[in-house]
């Protein structure tokens, strides 16, 4: 029972804290008074009695602390005391408090938001059953060292039937279909998947069932089902006409089902059955393959087994000569492209967090400097150093707490702001959200920032000695640099690293923008048309496209029109081996691989791709005789080095080997994106090789919207059931392809600007405090005739020395760090001298500008200060 009583009393002491403290004070006062009275009674002079009594009594503060100790509530009481005192001193300097909290909040918000993104994209588990067991299989082209090549149908079948490393395996290929439900025909993107695909992922349809092997069936995404059937469960069993036939809806996938996207898989709104046929077995390599590891089998097991099987297959078929198999974890495959840039962003934001923390430390130090006298007095009165440090830490913990709360609130908002900015090709954007793990990270980030700030501030506070007050009051200090000088240098260093990263990505982005794509994008619009199987013959298809072009060519504002199998920046298309039949090929695998595009004469005119040698396509190309081909400069140089290719035959490994005659050489064009250098390209005439799916390209002075309008009208009159899709201005396509670089560059530049601002605040803050402390010294200089400029220079010089130290250290770190950017940069070396020199100049300039504020403050110090005492 006694512990309960004493607990209650302790609680009482805590609750009645002020009262108890007052009582303690009163008691000590009374004691002193009695002591003095007694000494006076003994005949000591009152003044002397008071002095000796005080001396004999000793340090009041320490007795009070020991008194608190004796009550057994010391630790808790101290915390409460410190929190109260901390809050009081934070309230006393609201500007400083707000600045510190905002600085911390900025760091916490930025790092939490970026972590939230990176976590969602890279680290969150995939929404499938046992996603760690899912892998992607690729063919590995050993001669070219390309380990992620799409897969031939026959090889998929051999892997599925002969490998025992996998519990299941499925093939899929992107597919889009035209759906004519209602008035507007629509082109819908989806995928053909082999039977058992959804079972392999471990996601069952929410409604209905999975696809079966041999029926015209379709499974819909939740979004498509809601859009087209209004979420009616009776949709299952209904028929949708597409591909010239009728497909029965057998299932609807659950809401939020996020199908794996890798390779050339885009968004998917429906899934159709993929069937291997004699026809598609002859198509070459085009499949994507997903598999689930057999229980107990590791990724390494699967790799070695597949390597063995790959060797067997290479022996069995000449088309597999020089090919093996690679096995990649699904998660790694999906996030592969985004990983590098997200990790760089994560690292950069980490640096920003450290900067924010050190800045908070500087600001805390500044606020502590104001109360140096107060602390020195407390030390003189017998308070222990531990107590002082504890109090400083409490104050920075309070600031950290405030910063964390504000920062995390801002992070939630920031993630909402960033996600729409994300390039559309970033995988798994749907899984970006702020939840437990992300908030935990934010908390840890805030705690780490707080610890740094607290530790630095606490170390600084230890400098106070009981004599500090006396000394400063008496003579003023002359020697010793400003407090926090090293921190300022460190901050400048961090800012250098961040600015170098930003500078490199900016230069890389500029280089990407400046790349000569080889074609003109101005005023060019592209749209895709896929004719239904109803057209039947190539002649009817050709006639239709001819009629569309004719109608468009007559439109006001349209300069030229053309057709191509796939527009530049429109994704991958056919690529195959090409060779010079006049030369003996050493090995099949040595053949040059060329992109093949089917185009008409109008395509080159519209995209302003010049013919550098020979003739352009005739309009129209003859439909008989040996087919003629236009090749690009790269292919001409590879197949006919030092010779003219004009009039020469070239073998193209297409349609069982096509022998074509080189009619002309056109300029190199970047077909895929701005980064990928042009590779060999062969353009075959559309009139010889008709296709039912084509991109129409239209160039003109009319606005893109007007051009698209005329195109729609032309198509609608000729075939009302034909949808126009992938409608885009070429300019926009190019912009979109740069979206990821732009995103990274934008974020890194923002970080760098923030870092520069933080460094400015740090420098200005530290030197303002320094000037305030050295007012007397400056006053004396002024009194001795120093000019204003000399005083400003005095401060500037000190600031620049510190900044210089920081810049040098930062550059060294930046050289090491910038190598990590290697895979992101384009056209810029990681050790780019322009970036490094530029950043050095920027940092020194910014530091000087920041030091100008304290410099000017110093120059306004009156010489009278020297004459007046304190």
Applying CB under 8 A, which residues contact another protein? Answer: 2, 5-6, 9-10, 23-24, 26-28, 30-31, 34-35, 38, 56-59, 62-63, 66-72
From the CB of 860, what's the least distance to another protein, in Å? 50
817 Cβ contact partners less than 8 Å away, ≥ 6 residues apart: 347, 497, 500, 501
Pairing of strands 681-685, 592-599: parallel
Instruction: Give buried/exposed letters for 745-762 (b at 16+ CB in 10 A, else e).
Output: bebbbebbebbbbbbbbb
* CA 810 centroid distance within chain: 23
Q: Give, to the nearest 10 degrees, the angle between helix 775-783 and helix 739-773.
A: 70
Cα separations (Å) of 273 from 193, 196, 248, 316? 5, 10, 12, 29
Neighbours of 386 (CB within 10 A): 9
Residue with smaller CB distance to another protein, 91 or 386: 386
Q: How far is the CB of 54 from another protein (least distance, A)?
A: 11
Give the residue with the Cβ less far from another protein, 54 or 812: 54
DSSP-assigned beta bridge partners for residue 246: 241
Smaller CB separation from another protein, 13 or 152? 13
Which residue number, 72 or 223, has a Cβ lying nearer to another protein? 72
Residue 11 CB, shortest distance to another protein, in Å, is 13
Strands 658-666 and 693-700: unpaired
User: What are the beta bridge partners of residue 324?
Assistant: 140
Residues 173, 274: contact at Cβ < 8 Å? yes
Q: CB of residue 384 vs another protein: minimum separation in angstroms? A: 14
Task: Output the CA torsion sign for 218, 222, 223, 227.
Answer: positive
* Cβ closest to another protein, residue 28 vs residue 646: 28
> What tokens were used for 237?
């069993």
- Closer to another protein by Cβ: residue 78 or 719: 78
Q: Quick one: DSSP state of residue 664?
A: E
To the nearest whole angstrom, how small is the minimum distance from the Cβ of residue 83 to another protein?
A: 23
Choose between 60 and 844: whose C-beta lies nearer to another protein: 60
Comparing CB distances to another protein, the nearer of 78 and 222 is 78
What torsion do the CA atoms of 759, 762, 763, 769 make, to the nearest 10 degrees? Answer: 170
Token duo for residue 621: 């190309």
What phi and psi values does residue 606 have, to the nearest 5 degrees? -65, -40
Q: Which two tokens stand for residue 462?
A: 């230890």
The answer for residues whose C-beta is within 8 angstroms of residue 280's C-beta and 6 or more apart is 153, 286
Smaller CB distance to another protein: residue 35 or 661? 35
Between 26 and 831, name the residue whose CB sits nearer to another protein. Answer: 26
- The sign of the dihedral angle between the CA atoms of 287, 292, 294, 298 is positive
Q: How far is the CB of 31 from another protein (least distance, A)?
A: 5
**Shortest distance (Å) from residue 457 CB to another protein:** 31
- Closest CA relative to residue 263, chosen from 172, 358, 193: 172
**Burial per residue of 335-346, b for 16 or more beta-carbon CB atoms within 10 angstroms, e otherwise:** beebbebbebbb
Spatial distance between the Cα atoms of 210 and 195, rounded to a whole number of angstroms: 8
Beta carbon of residue 41, minimum distance to another protein (angstroms, whole number): 12
Residue 496 burial by CB count (10 A; 0-12/13-18/19+): exposed, middle or buried? buried
Taking the least distance from each CB to another protein, the nearer of 27 and 582 is: 27
- Closer residue to another protein, CB minimum distance, 7 or 283: 7
Closest approach of another protein to the CB of residue 381, in Å: 13
Name the minimum Å distance from CB 59 to another protein. 8
CB of 469 to another protein, least distance (A): 24
Least Å from the CB of residue 760 to another protein: 51
């Amino acid at each position: 029972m006694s512990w309960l009583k004493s607990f209650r009393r302790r609680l009482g002491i805590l609750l009645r804290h002020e009262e108890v403290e007052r009582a303690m004070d009163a008691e000590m006062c009374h004691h002193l008074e009695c002591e003095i009275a007694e000494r006076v009674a003994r005949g000591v002079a009152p003044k002397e009695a008071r002095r000796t009594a005080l001396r004999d009594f000793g340090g009041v503060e320490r007795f009070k602390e020991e008194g608190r100790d004796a009550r057994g509530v010391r630790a808790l009481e101290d915390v409460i005391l410190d929190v109260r005192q901390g809050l009081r001193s934070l309230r006393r300097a609201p500007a400083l408090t707000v600045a510190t909290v905002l600085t911390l909040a900025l760091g916490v918000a930025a790092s939490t938001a970026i972590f939230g993104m990176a976590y969602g994209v890279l680290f969150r588990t995939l929404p499938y059953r046992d996603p760690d067991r899912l892998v992607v299989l690729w063919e590995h082209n050993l001669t070219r060292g390309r380990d992620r090549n799409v897969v031939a149908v026959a090889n998929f079948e051999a892997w599925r039937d002969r490998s025992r490393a996998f519990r299941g395996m499925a093939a899929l290929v992107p597919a889009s279909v035209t759906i004519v439900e209602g008035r507007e025909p629509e082109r819908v993107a989806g995928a053909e998947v082999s039977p058992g695909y959804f079972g392999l992922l471990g996601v069952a349809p929410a409604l209905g069932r999975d696809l079966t092997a041999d029926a015209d069936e379709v499974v819909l995404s939740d979004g498509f089902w809601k859009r087209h059937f209004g979420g009616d469960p009776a949709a299952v069993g209904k028929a949708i006409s597409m591909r010239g036939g009728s497909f029965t809806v057998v299932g609807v996938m659950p809401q939020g089902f996020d199908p794996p996207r890798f390779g050339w898989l885009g968004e998917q709104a429906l899934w159709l059955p993929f069937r291997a046929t004699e026809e598609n077995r002859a198509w070459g390599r085009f499949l994507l393959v997903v598999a689930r590891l057999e229980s107990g089998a590791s990724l390494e097991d699967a790799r070695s087994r597949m390597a063995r099987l790959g060797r067997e297959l290479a022996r069995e078929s000449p088309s597999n000569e020089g090919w093996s198999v690679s096995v990649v974890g699904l998660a790694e495959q999906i996030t592969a492209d985004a990983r590098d840039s997200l990790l760089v962003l994560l690292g950069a934001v980490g640096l920003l967090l450290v900067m924010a923390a050190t800045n908070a430390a500087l600001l805390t130090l500044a606020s502590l400097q104001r109360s140096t006298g107060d602390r020195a007095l407390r030390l003189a009165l017998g308070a222990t150093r531990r107590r002082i440090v504890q109090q400083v830490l409490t104050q920075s913990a309070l600031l950290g707490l405030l910063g964390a709360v504000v920062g995390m609130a801002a992070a939630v908002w920031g993630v909402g702001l960033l996600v729409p900015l994300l390039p559309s090709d970033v995988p798994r954007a749907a899984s970006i959200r702020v939840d437990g793990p992300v908030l935990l990270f934010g908390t840890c980030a805030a705690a780490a920032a707080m610890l740094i700030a607290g530790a630095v501030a606490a170390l600084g506070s230890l400098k106070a000695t009981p004599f500090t007050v006396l000394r400063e009051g008496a003579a003023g200090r002359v020697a010793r640099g400003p407090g926090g000088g090293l921190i300022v240098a460190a901050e400048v260093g961090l800012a250098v690293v961040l600015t170098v990263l930003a500078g490199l990505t900016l230069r890389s982005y500029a280089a990407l923008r400046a790349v000569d794509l080889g074609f003109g994008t101005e005023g060019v619009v592209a749209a895709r048309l896929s004719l239904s199987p109803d057209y039947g013959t190539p002649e009817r298809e050709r006639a239709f496209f001819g009629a569309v072009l004719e109608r468009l060519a007559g439109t006001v504002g349209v300069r030229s029109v053309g057709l191509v199998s796939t527009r530049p920046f429109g994704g991958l298309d056919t690529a195959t081996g090409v060779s010079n039949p006049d030369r003996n090929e050493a090995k099949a695998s040595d053949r040059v691989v060329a992109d093949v595009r089917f185009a008409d004469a109008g395509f080159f005119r519209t995209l302003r791709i010049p013919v550098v040698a020979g003739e352009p396509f005739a309009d129209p190309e003859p439909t008989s005789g040996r087919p003629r081909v236009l090749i690009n400069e790269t292919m001409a140089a590879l197949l006919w080095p030092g010779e003219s290719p004009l009039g020469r035959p070239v073998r193209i490994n297409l349609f069982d080997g096509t022998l074509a005659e080189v009619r002309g050489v056109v300029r190199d064009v970047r077909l895929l994106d701005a980064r990928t250098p042009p590779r060999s390209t062969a353009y075959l005439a559309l009139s010889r090789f008709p296709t039912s799916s084509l991109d129409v390209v239209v160039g003109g002075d009319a606005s893109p919207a007007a051009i698209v309008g005329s195109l729609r009208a032309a198509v609608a009159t000729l075939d009302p059931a034909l949808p126009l899709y992938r409608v885009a201005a070429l300019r926009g396509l190019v912009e979109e392809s740069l979206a990821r670089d732009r995103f990274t560059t934008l974020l890194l530049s923002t970080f760098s600007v923030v870092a520069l601002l933080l460094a400015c605040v740090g420098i200005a803050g530290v030197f303002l405090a320094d000037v305030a402390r050295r007012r007397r010294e400056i006053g004396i200089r002024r009194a001795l005739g120093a000019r204003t400029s000399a005083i400003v220079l005095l401060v500037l010089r000190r600031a620049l020395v510190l900044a210089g130290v920081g810049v040098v250290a930062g550059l060294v770190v930046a050289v090491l760090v910038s190598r990590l950017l290697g895979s992101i940069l384009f056209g810029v070396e990681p050790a780019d001298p322009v970036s490094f020199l530029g950043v050095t100049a920027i940092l020194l300039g910014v530091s000087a500008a920041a030091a100008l504020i304290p410099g000017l403050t110093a120059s306004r110090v009156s010489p009278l200060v020297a004459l007046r005492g304190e």
